[in-house]
Amino acid sequence: MKISVVNGANLNLVGKREPKYYGSETLDTINQEIKAKADVLGVEVDFFQSNIEGEIINFIHNSNNTDCGGIILNAGAFTHYSYAIHDAITSVDIPVVEVHLSNIHKREEFRHKSVLSDACVGLVTGFGKYSYIMALEYLAAAKST
């Protein structure tokens, strides 16, 4: 089974941008740890990052035509207003877990609302890179049952 890890706006700057919220590890380092965990779980992972909303939508749409068994999605700021990404999630038959490095409910008021959550099978927020690992473990276990 393959699981896609999709990162949205500004996540290419993780490790440099606001380490108070996002930590000091780069996205590449986090992806390496996700890959190592995927190897232990016996699943394949691929990674995609874009600051462009439409590219994320196209990636989600195209995942429906692949062997993708799940998507881990950190949409960044798109989380709070992108009904287009919401609709992309509901248009595919793939479980999507929404993740965030920081706890969006302990941040600025506008970050408290996710327009994606109700389209996803779950939400993991506030555990740093472990948010991705928890989502990966869930998707791997859900597909093996």
Give catalytic residue positions: 22, 100
Q: For residue 45, which of 131, 140, 127 has the smallest C-alpha distance? A: 140
Residues 6+ apart with CB under 8 A from 96: 60, 70, 71, 72, 73, 89, 119, 120, 121
Provide the terminal-to-terminal Cα distance of the chain, rounded to the nearest Å.
13
Report CA torsion sign: 24, 27, 32, 37.
positive
